[in-house]
Amino acid sequence: MTTEGHESRRIAFMNQKGGVGKTTTTVNLAAAAAARGIATLLVDLDPQAHASLHLGVDPSERMDDASVYDVLLDPTDHEHAPIHEAIVPVGENLWCLPSETDLAAAEFELGDQPDRHTRLRAALATQGGRFGAVFIDCPPSLGLLTLNGLAAAGEVVIPMQAHFLALQGVGKLLETIRLLTAGEHAINPNLTVTGVVLCMHDHQAAHTREVVDDLESFFAEAAELPGLPWSSARVLSPAIRRNIKLAECPSFGQTIFQYAPDANGALDYAALAETVFGGAGPEVVDREAGEPIPEVHVVVTHNTGVAGDAGV
């Protein structure tokens, strides 16, 4: 299935803060993975449908077609399995499970059904080994859609901007992941955090360096506490520089590799794909459901707002 012989990777791109670079990273890293010969599926879990549009799939032109909404709401229709119908090819080695605006209602419509968190995981399981990588673009919230993404994923990548206040949400985000992995009824006990991608990055700014230093020391402390979902997390290299071409290409329904293959944005995402896919991959945590995981305490520091204790 893949030319590089990797096990299937299922990565949720998640940050409840809006506009930090989740969709840009999911789409362009997926395109970079596809270019490396990996059969890649992008799942758009955001009712805004930005990732679908970025890949040239316009939900307003396919009102009668199945989308991720049908996959989440109609999982028992095996004969016309919505996921088979909904997945559309968008390039060589690249497929999209598109969103639609109705998806916003899914949070309510799924109600309190016992399997409401694991609908996407169950649907993806029907795809067997078809995809070498599944990239999930989460909406900017910690609601049921994001939880479906986290339940279906093996790992989490956190796109963020290195601003003083941007780190404040990271503690909440890690606490959410901890809750999903801990306890007897853990939804996804083996979920790990692969790391942070710094987006719209300005290498020159002094405060940027301070934020990155705080993040790196936070993850260094976590490395001393094996068993945390983020024990092997790191600041992934390279940071993605601010590049106007990355902001332009979604309106053309093109990835950066189609729109401006020589731009810094293309170089950065190709290099990031080398980091994510070129090495041995993330350390696999084999944690039993029910095994206790330390609480997250995120310490407010004088400058960035967040850093410190990695989890005691």
Ligand X SMILES: Nc1ncnc2c1ncn2[C@@H]1O[C@H](COP(=O)(O)OP(=O)(O)OP(=O)(O)O)[C@@H](O)[C@H]1O
Report residue 266 as tokens: 């293309």
Contact 105, 67 (CB under 8 A): no
Q: Which residue is nearest to Mg ion (CB)?
A: 23
Fill in the per-residue mask, 253 to 292: x = in contact with ligand X (CB under 6 A), - = not in contact: ------------x---------------------------
Nearer to Mg ion, 23 or 208 (CB): 23
Is 10 one of the binding residues for Mg ion (CB under 5 A)? no
Contact, 6 vs 278, CB < 8 A?
no
Q: Which stretch binds ligand X (CB under 6 A): 4-12, 15-23, 188-196, 204-212?
A: 15-23
Three-state SS letters, 6-31: CCCEEEEECCCCCCCCHHHHHHHHHH
Q: How far apart are CA 171 and CA 190, in angstroms?
A: 19
For the packed helices 264-278 and 22-35, what is the interaxial angle rounded to 10 degrees?
70
Residue 22 near Mg ion by CB under 5 A: yes
Which residue among 12, 20, 147, 215 contacts ligand X (CB under 6 A)? 20
Least distance (Å) from ligand X to the CB of residue 91? 19
Q: What letter would DSSP give residue 134?
A: E
Left (φ > 0), alpha (ψ -120 to 50) or beta: where does 290 sit? left
User: Does 23 contact Mg ion by CB under 5 A?
Assistant: yes
Q: How far is the CB of 161 from ligand X (least distance, A)?
A: 9
Strand partners, 40: 94, 133
What x/- string results for residues 138 through 177 when contact with ligand X is judged by CB under 6 A?
A: --x-------------------------------------
Q: Which residues bind ligand X (CB under 6 A)?
A: 18-24, 46, 48, 50, 140, 199-200, 240, 242-243, 246-247, 250, 265
